[in-house]
Amino acid sequence: MVSLLGDAMMPVASALAVGAVYGVSGVGYVLASWTAPFVLFVLFGGVFADRVGARAMMVGADLVRIVAQGVLAVAFFTGTPPLWLLLAASALSGTAAAMFQPGVNGMVPLVAKDPQRANGTLKIADAATQLGGPVLAGLLTALTGAGTVYAIDAGIFLLSGLCLALIRVAPAVRAREPSTVLRDLRRGWAEFRARNWMWSVILVWVFFSMLVFGPYVPLASRLIGERLGDAAYGWVMAALGAGTVVGGLVAIRFRPVRPLAGGAVALTGFTCIPLAVALELPLPLLMAGHLAGGAFWAFWSVMWATSVQTQVAPDVLNRVTAYEVAGSVSGAAVGQALVGPVSSVVEPGHLLFVSTGVTAAVCVALLLIRPIRRLRRVPGDGGTAEPA
C-alpha cells in the first residue's frame, strides 16, 4: 500500500510538472520513457523473481526508485530540470518497476489462502492510495512545486522497502536442475503460450493500452487542467480511486463461475472515463464518471489477477506474470509517445472519443473469444489448473 501511494502520486505530478514546462508532448515522452524499459525488462524481472525470490527483487527495486525520485526532487528544487534528465530518471524508474511488478502477483499465493479475496483487498488498498495520492500530488504541485512531490515520493519508496524487508514468507519451491536465463525465459514463454485464454486477452490488450491507456493521462491532464485547474484533475483521479474501492469490495464477495466473462461485461463501464473527459462535463459529473469507471475496472482487474494466479503453477508464476504484464502494457508506450504529435493535428477531445469506442470494442472482443468467455473459476481456494 505504501508503494502504491508513490505510484498514485507520480502520474499526476509528472503530468502537471512536466506539462507546464514541456507540454503534452513532453508528458507523453516522459511516460513513454518509463513504459518502454518496463516492457523491455519485465521479462527478466519475472526470471529473477523466480530465481532469487520476489521479496528481494521488490526491495532492490524500491532502493533504485529512491535514487531516481530523489535526483528529480533536487533538480526541481534547484531550477527547471532538462528534458533528458526527466527521461533518464523515468527510464530508471521504469526499469526498477519491471523488477518489482512480477513479484507482486507471485507473492499473493504465498501469503493468501484465498487469492480472490487477497486481490480484492489489494484493489481496495490501491484505491485508498488513489484517493489520497492524486489529491496530495495536485495540491502539493500547485502550492509548493514538483520538487516537494518527488521528495515525498522518494521517502515513500524508502518506507515501502522497509515494509517489504520485514515480510517473512515461506520460500517458494524452485526447480533444482541447472538452468540459464534464456532457458527460464523459454519456459515462461511456453507456459504463457500454452494458455489460449491468456495470450488472447493480452493480444486484445495491446490495442487497448495503445489507444486508451497510453493517451489518457496526457490528454486528460491537459483538458481537465486547462478548463478546471490542476487541483480539479487531482480530485477526478481521487474519484477514480473511490470507484476502485467499490469495485474491490464487490470483487471480494461476487465470484462468477466464468471470471473473465464476468469481468469483460463489467469492463464496459470503463467507457465512462474517457467519455466524461471528452464531453467536457462539469467537475461533479467528471468525478461521477471516474467513480463508475473505476469500480468496473477494479472488478475486471481482480478477475484477471485471480485467474492468472490460480491457473498457473507456482514455480513459473512470476515468469508467466512477466509475459502477461509486458504484453498488456506494451501498447501504452506507443500511445504515450504518439499522443503529442497526434494531438497537434487532431483535437484531444476527439481522441478521447476514439478511446471510448475502442474500450467498447475491446469488451466485445473479449466476450467473442471462446477460451476467454468459457474459462471457469478454479474450485476451492488457491490451487492450480491445467492450461486451457
- The pLDDT value given to residue 263: 92
- The pLDDT value given to residue 183: 83
- The pLDDT value given to residue 70: 92
- The pLDDT value given to residue 387: 40
pTM of the full structure: 0.72
H/E stretch holding 210 reads none
What angle separates helix 196-208 from helix 317-343, to the nearest 10 degrees? 20
H/E stretch holding 282 reads none
Instruction: Kindly list the domain boundaries of the chain, sorted by start residue.
Output: 2-170+178-374
- Is the distance from CB of 211 to CB of 355 less than 8 angstroms? yes
Q: How far, CA to CA in Å, does 83 sit from each of 3, 30, 90, 126?
A: 26, 8, 10, 30
- The pLDDT value given to residue 103: 81
What tens digit of pLDDT does each residue of 323-351 get?
A: 888 777 777 777 877 777 887 788 888 88
User: In 3D, which of 240, 287, 223, 283 has the Cα closest to residue 15?
Assistant: 223
Residue by residue, DSSP assigns 59-107 as: HHHHHHHHHHHHHHHHHHHHS---HHHHHHHHHHHHHHHHHHHHHHHHH
Q: Which three cell numbers stand for residue 88?
A: 533518464
- Is the distance from CB of 376 to CB of 363 less than 8 angstroms? no
What tens digit of pLDDT does each residue of 118-162 get?
A: 888 887 887 777 677 777 777 777 777 778 888 888 898 899 889
CATH of 2-170+178-374, one of 1.20.1270.360, 3.30.1050.10, 3.30.360.10, 1.20.1250.20: 1.20.1250.20
- The pLDDT value given to residue 388: 41
Q: Which three cell numbers stand for residue 356?
A: 471510448
- The pLDDT value given to residue 386: 39
H/E stretch holding 171 reads none
Which residue ranges of the chain lie beneath pLDDT 50?
Answer: 176, 381-388
- The pLDDT value given to residue 142: 75
- The pLDDT value given to residue 66: 93
- The pLDDT value given to residue 95: 92
Under 8 Å CB-to-CB from 378, ≥6 apart: which residues?
Answer: 310, 311, 384, 385
